[in-house]
Chain A
Amino acid sequence: MEKLLEILEELEPDVDFENCENLVDGRYLDSLTILSLISEIEDAFDVQIPTVEIVPANFNSAKKIWALIERLQEED
């Protein structure tokens, strides 16, 4: 989780990722930032994020993103 927070803070330093619950719906993360994030996550956690998983529900908070990573790691 800490590694994920580091990645997020590097991408958008002004956002409080530990508490924000509407990263996508509140437009803190736009499509291009999400692309950067996906690329970083795939490298750091050795997972592949399929297109079907790129929905606001999976990216609206750091916790949700972490849950997605864990789920994808288990599925592998």
Chain B
Amino acid sequence: MSYFNVLYAFVALPILVALYNIVPKKIRPILLLLASYAFFFSYSKFLIVFVMLSSLSIYLAGRKMSSLESKKKEKLEGLEKEEKKAVKETYQKNKRNVLVFTIIFNAFFLFIFKYLGFFVKNTNHLVSFFGGNNFLPIIKLAAPIGISFYTLQAISYLVDIYREKIEAEKKLLKVMLYLSFFPTVVEGPITRYGDIKDTIYEGTRVTYQNFCFGYQRILFGFFKKMVIADRLNIFVKIIFTDYMSYSGPAIFLGAIFYTILLYMEFSGTMDVVIGSAEMFGITLPENFRQPFFSKNISEFWSRWHISLGQWFKDYIFYPVSLSKPVKKLTTGIKKTFGNRVSSLTMGGIALFAVWSLNGLWHGAGYQYLFFGYYHFTLILLGNIFEPWIVAFCTKAHINRKSIPYRIFQTVKTCILVFIGELFFRADGLRAGFSMMKRILTDFQFHHIGREIASLGLDIKDYIVLAIALLFVLGISILRERRIPIREKISKKPLVLRWTLYYVLIFAILIFGAYGKGYVPVAPIYADF
């Protein structure tokens, strides 16, 4: 059952809200767990056993680490400094073993379901150089829904206990709900146990305000997905399938439209997800913060899929850059070249690890790895050249805070993002390069009008798209200025408020791209 299914948003969700308010407070988290498992089952049937296994494994590992910590504290009493050190090291080692074993256990399932096919294909390819033929059998497995998301949550739970940032949960039910919570399980946001545990189990009654705010957010998500993303999908599908028949500008327009489609689909899903949780008084972290207003690629990634970026920062970037081998490696560099070069090296190594994993996390394919390394290169180059850019601007009397310069930075960032997304969407790396080549070499505009008209959208579609995009842009500007839109609307007179809601509902019903001739966008991030 997709989040954009009417059955989910306008049948199952209101029924669950009603039941949630009827049952006693203590039962409410159990009801959420049952609803989450029913939701998971609707997607993945008996593969649900894997999310249960993950929950059980991290619950037991958390308990074990917690008991080791208690035993360590007992043993430390009355010991001398040297003895204390030895006891601490022993227990830390035992805790680390539990952590590493459980991470491997969970990552193993992720590997089997997501990367085994890619691994087999590449191994067979390698063996074929030595005369072997189909060395390993090709297996195609359907993965449990959201395995890439809940596995990252599972790892964060374990590492946070290991780092003593959170305490191990005593109740298995709570860990089960944390990993499978129905609004977040398919496409995130990737939550942290410490941030969510207080509200998710509290069982707060659904209030009228939360109910209204939740549905406003859900409607906005439906609007982005059905009016914009599903409409753009027609154009994008044709361009990316039959790119050889189109000119460079048309292909570049396809890359722009795909980036907008991806944003509307993913951020629209987040609106539905955050709105659904909000009804139950659960505040989920925002996953987007107006990414297209970014000044550079590094900033873009702190505004796009924020929870994934934050996960990589906390569990890969800092641990790798501050690890003993990397520090040892950069000590010599620091003595010779200074702090800036050593920090760039440290950060560069960690960024490489982050973007290799980020690329692979998005999918088992070379185009995803390329996507990762493309952004790694842009971020690293951005940091290396920053002092020179600052010096150049000072010499050329360019005010870096002026509006024209900010516009230049934003446009440059958007173009780089469009190119990255072109490779991301292309049917393999070879197709990506062919498309890029056509953009750079087949630069003719005289067919563009005819081409745009032949890409499945008519003039009415373009008008609807323009108005809808301006509407989303307006809301984005208000959000960027930190203006609380929903609070402002809630203070307006009843008639005006409901007129606004009806306009949004009818806009979705009338201008939503569904029915004959439209193919809705599949939930893109659900496949990651």
Q: Taking beta carbons and an 8 Å cutoff, which residues of A are in contact with B? A: 27, 30-32, 35-36, 38-40, 49-52, 54
Contacts and interface: CB of A to CB of B under 8 A. Distances in A.
A25 to B, nearest CB: 10
Interface stretch (B266-274, B335-343, B417-425): B335-343
B347 A51 contact: no
Contact of B339 (A36, A49, A50, A52): A36
A38 B164 contact: no
Given A27-B299, A31-B313, A32-B383, A54 B339 contact: no
Given A27-B299, A27-B302, A35 B165 contact: no
A38 B343 CA distance: 9
Contact of B347 (A27, A35, A52, A54): A35
A32 B318 contact: no
Contacts of A31: 298, 313, 317-318, 347
B163 A38 contact: no
Given A27-B302, A30-B298, A39-B334, A54 B318 contact: yes
Nearest to B309: A31
The binding surface of chain B is classed by DSSP as helix
Interface in B309-338: 313-314, 317-319, 321-322, 334
Given A31-B313, A32-B343, A38 B322 contact: yes
B267 to A, nearest CB: 20
Q: Which among A30, A31, A36, A40 has the greatest number of chain B C-beta atoms within 10 A?
A: A31
Contact of A51 (B322, B342, B344): B322
A35 B302 contact: no
B51 interface: no
29 contacts: A27-B299, A27-B302, A30-B298, A31-B298, A31-B313, A31-B318, A31-B347, A32-B343, A32-B383, A35-B321, A35-B322, A35-B347, A36-B339, A36-B343, A38-B322, A39-B339, A39-B342, A40-B339, A49-B322, A50-B163, A51-B163, A51-B314, A51-B319, A51-B322, A52-B163, A52-B164, A52-B165, A54-B314, A54-B318
B147 interface: no
Contacts of A32: 343-344, 347, 383
Contacts of B317: 31
Interface in B33-58: none
Nearest to B327: A39
B346 interface: yes
A32 B343 CA distance: 7
Interface string B158-179: 0000011100000000000000
B158 to A, nearest CB: 14
Contacts of B319: 51
A38 to B, nearest CB: 7
Contacts of A50: 163
Nearest to B320: A51
Contacts of B340: 36
A30 B384 CA distance: 13
Given A31-B318, A32-B383, A35-B322, 9 more contacts: A30-B298, A31-B313, A39-B334, A39-B339, A39-B343, A39-B346, A50-B163, A51-B314, A51-B318
Interface in B148-197: 163-165
9 tightest A-B CB contacts, nearest first: A36-B343, A52-B163, A32-B347, A35-B343, A51-B318, A54-B318, A35-B347, A51-B319, A32-B383
B340 to A, nearest CB: 6
Contacts of B314: 51, 54
A31 to B, nearest CB: 6
A49 B318 CA distance: 11
Interface in B377-423: 383
B346 A35 contact: yes
A10 to B, nearest CB: 9
Contacts of A35: 321-322, 343, 346-347
Contacts of A38: 322
Q: Which among B298, B302, B322, B342 has the greatest number of chain A C-beta atoms within 10 A?
A: B322
Nearest to B346: A35
Nearest to A35: B343
Contacts of B334: 39
A51 B317 CA distance: 10
A53 to B, nearest CB: 10
Nearest to B162: A52
Contacts of B383: 32
Interface in B84-131: none
Interface in B286-309: 298-299, 302
